[in-house]
Amino acid sequence: MRAVIVGEHGGPEVLALSEVDRPAPGPGQVLVEVRVAGINYMDVYQRTGAVPRQTPFTLGVEGVGVVAEAGAGVTEFAAGDRIGWFSGGSGSHAEFATVDAGRAVAIPDGVSDEQATAALMQGITAQYLATDTYPIGEGDPVLVHAAAGGVGQLLVQIARLRGGRVVGTTSSAEKAQAVRDAGADEVLGYDDFAARVRELTDGAGVAAVYDGVGAATFEGSLASLRPRGVLVIYGTASGPTPALEIPRLNSGGSLYVTRPSIAHYTAETAQLRARASQVLGWVADGELTVRIGGDYPLDEVATAYRELEARHTTGKLLLHP
């Protein structure tokens, strides 16, 4: 079968499309014929070595496909079932992958392979950020950075579903329109965004900032919060955040800062499937719209990652093995 192999850590140029043996499912696993794979920053972190992983390995943490074979002890899935996953797999950038059955979720009718892939990792991320990390309440003002991205557009929509008032940031007029289409009340550029947030909230600041950008927005994010506000740093696309002096939280108004991970919010199978069920249910009902920002064949995988890392895209990037 064909698979995208990372032979050494580095940029997109290290990605090699290779012929490898088709894997076999072990106990508790299923073998899946991959229909669509998701392209994520987690893949970037693994490829570059920021998240350590021994090379060589098959890239790709997320996918949707059809079960080809169930391993010993698997009772919840059988051949022909359509499932999705974003952890517990052998690498989704391939024609076949093995997946731990306990990390897989059933894909309901009425949700396409592309929609499901776009809604899994990023949709569940947006779901736990808005419902658990800082539970957005009716009328809560919140700031969403990179609001035109895959997580950003979904987070804007879920925040609105929960009654929040959303200010989104983005880097271009084209992306700004995508953020408005997602339901943001206001859309800003990154220049002096903290001052603009203060103006929009009559000087009070926002209840929470959802920041997937990191270094470039960190100081402004803290300055955008109201007293006892919460800075949620869920990614560092522009680089690691600087060191934080704890007294800064007091002087800023008894602020909170948290760095959540999807792994900790989906650690248990029941928790994972409950979050996936809610997100995919929203998609099936038309309450949550996923936007596909790019669709690539397997042999254009390096191009897809260059586009992602240059932040040239809006919405979710997909790979078709």
270-277 long-range contacts, CB within 8 A, separation 24+: 272/103, 272/105, 272/124, 273/105, 275/124, 275/127, 275/128, 276/84, 276/105, 276/120, 276/124, 277/105
Task: Tell whether the model's pLDDT for residue 63 goes beyond 80.
Answer: yes
Q: What is the pLDDT of residue 276?
A: 98
**Contact of 312 with 31, CB cutoff 8 Å:** no
Length of the chain measured in residues: 321
Lowest-confidence range among 64-68, 199-203, 258-262, 314-318? 314-318
pLDDT mean over 41-61: 94
Q: What is the pLDDT of residue 312?
A: 78
191 membership: H or E segment, kind and range: none
Task: Tell whether the model's pLDDT for residue 90 goes beyond 90.
Answer: no
HSE, side-chain direction, 13 A CA sphere, residue 269: 9
Confidence of residue 44 (pLDDT cuts 50, 70, 90): very high
Which numeric CATH code is attached to 2-107+291-320? 3.90.180.10
Q: What is the pLDDT of residue 41?
A: 86
pTM reported for the whole predicted model? 0.92
pLDDT mean over 283-295: 94
Task: Return the domain boundaries, the chain.
Answer: 2-107+291-320, 123-263
How much of the chain exceeds pLDDT 70, in percent? 100
Which numeric CATH code is attached to 123-263? 3.40.50.720
Q: Note if the bond before 52 is cis, omega within 30 degrees.
A: no
pLDDT mean over 147-168: 95
Q: Is 213 helix (H, G, I), strand (E, B) or coil?
A: coil
Q: How far apart are CA 308 and CA 12, in angstroms?
A: 11
